[in-house]
A and B are shown apart, each in its own frame.
Chain A
Amino acid sequence: MSYRKVSSVRYRRLLDEGIVIQQAAGEVLALNATGLRVLELLDTGHSLEATVAQLAAEYDVLPATVAADVRAYAAELQAAGILEPGTP
């Protein structure tokens, strides 16, 4: 499965954290480093499976260790109006 960023959403890296701005609503969220990395990977064309693999490699853990968390987090971002299903 793949996601893309909702068009009215912007995000930026600030040190090791992320700031997500939903400009249509004027709402702003802060993401921790891992959350930002998930968003970056999904928004740059990585499928959910590829995002899991990439994160597992970066954190030196088994994909199965992070898979459920990544899927749940992507669903949270979708519910928050930051991501939507589809290719970037």
Chain B
Amino acid sequence: MTFGTQFLTYPELFPARLAGESWGSQSLYLRLAGADYALTGLSEIQQAAISVRFGALCRATATDVAAELHLYQAEAEDFLGIPYPGWAYSLDCDYQPQHLRLAGLGLMARLELAPTWRGGLWVPTADAQMVADGTLENILRVLVAYRLLAQGGLLLHSAGTVRDGAAYIFFGHSGAGKSTISRLNLSAGLTVLSDDMNALVWRAGQWWVEKLPFAGDLGQNAVDAGCYPLHGLYRLVKAPHHALHPLLPARATASLLACAPYVNQNPHLLDSLLIEANRIVTGVTVAQLEFALDSGFWRCLVE
């Protein structure tokens, strides 16, 4: 299928560069995975909605901006409706060596990758809809995934929990048990980072987990930052009994790659993604956790 035809009325008119009329002159900085992302071209309503949504992660100034995302105006008639009944949310991506084009429900985005790290998001309303419906967050997830990889980190589809000061990351596809294990950990009084997306970053000679404001089924109450040393990565597999099994390097790397969203479908990034995943595998525990859907799994990890 040709890029954009599922979502755009005129895919051939997709913006060829970062240009257009902004929704406003407001801006703010968002702290994500230890870096500041500039959001510019915002209307006052959009800025206020982002401030409410991302709370303590928003700031008025930044010293070192990792990437900039500018909001541009689009016309409502530029976009088609929901593709078909029962459609599951997805983005259409066009991968180029230096940039990405993205089309989705009510959005067009163009992300210029290294070295500029500038992007544009075209949406059809000046109001808070693009915050409420997740449009902005879905583009930020993509931008963070690419930026992290370029910095030697990885965005992982995973549930993160802090125990005794260290982060345990449980990764796997939808249905593997990430939200279930997060609920169990919350009930046990542990700190849950995200039940959907966590950032692995290499800093000061070790792997860390940065809390991200990207939650899944569990939702998110407090939106704040946090950074914890990584204890280990555990691939979740539902099973009748809890058990922990080592993963051979290739299987561990393959498992991580499968849960590295957005970047793992970009043919231009395969080798850098492999390098980072393999670096993680050789540096920390990566194992398979057979998970029987109760909190007894901790015995496999801490005893």
Contact = CB atoms under 8 A, between A and B. Distances in A.
Interface in B237-276: 248-251, 253-255, 257-258, 261, 264-267, 270-271, 274
Contacts of B270: 10, 12, 21, 23
Interface stretch (A24-32, A45-53, A61-69, A76-84): A24-32
B264 A21 contact: yes
B278 interface: yes
Given A12-B274, A17-B249, A19-B274, A26 B254 contact: no
Nearest to B251: A30
Interface residues of A, number: 18
Contacts of A28: 254-255, 257-258, 264
Nearest to B264: A26
A38 B266 CA distance: 25
Given A12-B274, A19-B274, A30 B266 contact: no
B264 A23 contact: yes
Contacts of A27: 258
Nearest to A11: B270
Contacts of B271: 12
A17 B274 CA distance: 13
A4 B258 CA distance: 23
A15 to B, nearest CB: 6
A14 interface: yes
Contact of A30 (B254, B261, B264, B267): B254
Nearest to A15: B249
A19 B253 contact: yes
A87 B126 CA distance: 53
Contact of B248 (A8, A10, A12, A30): A30
Given A19-B274, A28-B264, 15 more contacts: A8-B267, A10-B267, A10-B270, A12-B271, A12-B274, A14-B249, A14-B253, A14-B274, A15-B249, A19-B253, A19-B257, A23-B267, A28-B257, A30-B253, A30-B255
Interface of B: 248-251, 253-255, 257-258, 261, 264-267, 270-271, 274, 278
> What 3 A-B pairs have minimum CB-CB distances, sorted nearest first?
A17-B250, A30-B254, A28-B258
Interface of A: 8, 10, 12, 14-15, 17-21, 23-24, 26-31
